[in-house]
């Protein structure tokens, strides 16, 4: 993993308002730096975080269904 990849992941998470991700990443890095976690596990955790961020990005990219629109805007009616 490169520093650019990790920065991209952090920035993408912040853009998506997933503020727990940078905190989680920092926790993983600290665990590796202080020897309480193996780097291999850190890579696995970062991969899981990447998947979570991509899934959130895909979910936000899909247009809402009619049912979702009705749930979010119950007073709005189109005739």
Which pLDDT does position 2 carry in this prediction?
Answer: 58
The pTM of this model reads 0.73
Collapsed DSSP state (helix, strand, coil) of residue 63: coil
From residue 56, how far is each of 3, 12, 22, 23, 49 by CA, in Å?
22, 10, 15, 17, 11
Ordered per-residue pLDDT tens for the chain, 79 residues = 557 999 999 999 999 999 999 999 999 999 999 988 899 999 999 999 999 999 999 988 888 888 888 888 888 776 5
The ranges assigned to domains in the chain are 3-72
- C-alpha–C-alpha distance, residues 69 and 77, integer Å: 10
């Amino acid at each position: 993993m490169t520093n650019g990849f990790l920065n991209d992941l952090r920035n993408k998470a912040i853009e998506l308002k997933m503020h727990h991700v940078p905190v989680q990443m920092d926790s993983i890095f600290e665990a590796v730096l202080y020897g309480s976690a193996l780097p291999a596990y850190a890579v696995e955790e970062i991969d899981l975080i990447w998947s979570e961020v991509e899934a959130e990005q895909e979910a936000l990219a899909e247009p809402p269904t009619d049912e979702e629109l009705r749930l979010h805007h119950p007073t709005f009616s189109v005739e």
